[in-house]
Amino acid sequence: MATTKTKTAAKTSRYTELRQMLEDRRRELMTEVQGRIRDVRADGNKDRDVLDQGESSEVDIQEDIEFALIQMKSETLNKINEALRRLEEGTYGNCFECGDEIAHARLRALPFAVRCKDCEEARETAEKRERMAQKRSSSTLFFDMTN
Ligand SMILES: [Zn+2]
């Protein structure tokens, strides 16, 4: 059937595009993480002995920041691997709530989005309402406690 064929073709190209996007990101992140690890190592080795205490603690802070960044990037890298795994299973890129395909542009901006735009907006509105309700109830609670 012609319609089935077109649909399959569209699915395949979407799969290819998403895979390409995720792999590009993975490659970028890997290069960045590896580059940073190299920098940290190079900095750690050079001039360590000549620094006085104050300077070396500044270096330590700098290194802590670098490590935190590396850790963050590695976590993103894990998420990308997870997304690629889900893509293989055919569950990546579909809305968690309504099951519709999440728009490609949205996935490009937010590769780990689990909801389509409509569902996300609905959820945000619901959360906002909930927060308002909570705020009200907690201020009531606060009021009660001061009495
Ligand atoms: Zn949805």
Q: How far is the CA of 32 from the centre of ligand 1 (A)?
A: 33
Q: What are the tens digits of pLDDT across the range 34-88?
A: 888 887 777 666 555 555 666 778 888 888 888 899 999 999 999 999 999 999 9
Q: How far is the CA of 110 from the centre of ligand 1 (A)?
A: 15
Q: Give residues whose Cβ lies within 5 Å of ion ligand 1.
A: 95, 97-98, 100, 116, 119
Distances in whole angstroms, Cα of residue 23 to Cα of each of 20, 50, 78: 5, 43, 12
Q: CB of 112 within 8 A of CB of 79? A: yes
Q: How far is the CA of 4 from the centre of ligand 1 (A)?
A: 23
Q: How far is the CA of 107 from the centre of ligand 1 (A)?
A: 13
The whole-model pTM stands at 0.68
Q: How far is the CA of 6 from the centre of ligand 1 (A)?
A: 23
Q: Report the distance separating Cα 15 and Cα 66, nearest Å.
A: 34
Residue 107 has pLDDT above 70, yes or no: yes
Q: How confident is the model at residue 113 (pLDDT cuts 50, 70, 90)?
A: very high
Q: How crowded is the C-beta side of 51, counted as CA atoms within 13 Å?
A: 14
Q: How far is the CA of 115 from the centre of ligand 1 (A)?
A: 5
